[in-house]
Each structure stands twice: as C-alpha cells, then as structure tokens.
Amino acid sequence: IKFNFQKTNQAPISFLKKKGKGLGDYLKRLREIVKERDYSLSEGFLNLAQEKVFFEKKKKFDLILVCGVGGSALGPKTVYQALKRKKDLKEILFFEGLNPLFLKEVQDKIKKTPKKKIALFWISKSGKTLESVVNFSIIFKNLKGKKPEIFVLTDKGSPLERLAKER
C-alpha cells in the first residue's frame, strides 16, 4: 500500500510540512503494520485492502453496512472516501449514530436487497461501546430474514469477540 496523503486530504501542503513532522514516523509504522499483516492494532483495518478473500466476497454483496462509533468507523470511512476518488467502488453505508432519517434510508435499502446479499461489519475496539451495541441491534433487527454475512472487528478477549465466536 502506498500512503499518498497529499492527494487525498484538504489541508495545504504548507500546513502539512509545518504540522506533520511526526508524520514520517507514523507512515513508517503504518507500512510495517501492512507488511506484517498485523490486525492486533487499531490501524490493522488497512490490511483489509490487501485481503484477496475480502475482495472476492465483496463482489457478491449488493449492500455493505459498517456499524461503528468514533475511530472504529472513522478509519474505514476515511480509507473508503480516499479510494472512492480513484476507483468505482460499491456504496458503503456507515452507521455511526442514531439518525432517524439515515435509519429510514438504510431500512429502505435493506428491503430492496435480496437475501444473502448484505454484508454487515461491526467494528468496536472494546466490544462494549453503548452506541455501537445499540446501532448494531437496530440494524440487526432490520436484517431479519435477509441472512446477512456479518464480520466482527474487535480486540481479543472483548465481549464482542466472545459473542461472535458463540454465533
């Protein structure tokens, strides 16, 4: 993965040069995470872009939902928005809050999507963030009978990991 932040951000180069002195070290860390395929760190989501299995499966989904709050949704959303500028990507709906208008939009899209054609990503570092749990349960209730494929990204040993392994 090549990290080219200059083409995907909206900050002037002068600002980045002034404020971004530590950016080189952080980019080096990101490259190492990707090289080692390390999913144990919060930046591990970057590895998804290289996962052949993920992209092969992605082709079969008509609707992709991401449920996460704060950094759990912000990282994937940022990468998606940056990639979307360069490539024609399927729409991904990021369910980050309790917005009734957005929920209605999601419900309408779920109703129109055939069975087994929905992917739901539940991302929560701790696995117990209240907003994330509430959002997931709202989406999950709307998915009854749709047989979605659910992907869980969380810390090892979290309540969410235990729940995912049970089911």
The set of residues, in sequence order, having a beta carbon less than 8 Å from that of 82 and lying 6+ positions away, is: 8
Closest to 123 in 3D by CA, of 93, 153, 151, 150: 153
Walk along the chain (167 residues) and give the pLDDT tens digit of each residue. 555 555 555 666 676 667 666 677 877 888 887 787 777 777 777 776 666 555 565 568 888 888 888 888 888 888 888 777 777 777 888 888 778 888 888 899 999 999 988 988 888 888 888 888 888 888 888 898 999 988 888 888 888 888 888 87
- Check if the beta carbon of residue 120 is closer than 8 Å to that of residue 94: no
Question: Which residues on neighbouring strands pair with residue 118, listed in sequence order?
Answer: 63
What is each CA distance from 56 to 50, 59, 60, 66, in whole angstroms? 11, 6, 8, 18
What's residue 59's pLDDT?
A: 66
Query: Model pTM greater than 0.75?
Result: no
pLDDT single digits (tens) 19-56: 666 677 877 888 887 787 777 777 777 776 666 555 56
What's residue 113's pLDDT?
A: 92
DSSP 3-state of 154: strand
What's residue 124's pLDDT?
A: 86
CB under 8 A, 24+ apart: contacts of 72-80: 72/123, 72/124, 72/125, 72/129, 72/132, 72/153, 73/123, 75/42, 75/43, 75/45, 76/45, 76/48, 76/121, 76/123, 79/45, 79/46, 79/49
What's residue 130's pLDDT?
A: 83
- Check if the beta carbon of residue 127 is closer than 8 Å to that of residue 154: yes
